[in-house]
Amino acid sequence: MNIRDRQIGGGRINRGRTRNTPGSRRVIVFGQLQVQVRNETRDTVLGRLVDVANTSSTRRTGLLKHKSLEPGHGLWIVPCESVHTFFMKFAIDLVYVDKRRRVRKVRHAVKPWRMSACLSAHSVLELPAGTAAESGTQAGDQLAMVELS
């Protein structure tokens, strides 16, 4: 099922362990959801196993506890319009995406101790360095996030 259909990021989907607070939508607990990210414009795959970080604590932690990021893996931070690489041990590619899953900005091989932002973005993909260049991903491309079961 396509994540766009399930409205992740805008209205969060209900899958796995969830918590529900009065007057709010259900929120997925990190680690329960992975997606495959495809660049539909270029017909390429950006990530085969991309974790979704959509809670305050998971967005705050991000990739900080990782020593490296394997090819095909990544992190989709929803919502997010800026990131930092303070305390990270490796460079990453950043792909900023709007609510319609259109790429707004791409930053290649962002080294540790850097900051990056795109105020028109709704979320950001953190991918292994070189992934965006290999796939030819650039601003304006249309992405699709497909939930993995």
Q: Please write the tens of the pLDDT for every residue from 40-59.
A: 999 999 999 999 999 888 88
Helices (H), the chain: 3-6, 56-61, 131-135
Is 141 part of a structural domain of the chain?
yes
Residue 65, in any domain of the structure = yes
Residues 24, 51: Cα–Cα separation, whole Å: 23
Please report whether residue 20 resides in a domain.
no
6-16 residue pLDDT tens: 445 443 333 44
Token readout for 116 is 């990056």
Structural domain of residue 111, as residue ranges?
Answer: 3-12+30-147
Q: What is the pLDDT of residues 59-105, one digit of tens each?
A: 888 888 889 999 999 999 999 999 999 999 999 999 999 999 999 99
What is the 3-state secondary structure of 61-74? HCCCCCCCCCCCEE
CA atoms within 13 A on the CB side of 5: 4
Check which CATH number belongs to the domain holding 129 and give it.
2.60.120.1140
pTM: 0.79
Count of domains for the chain? 1
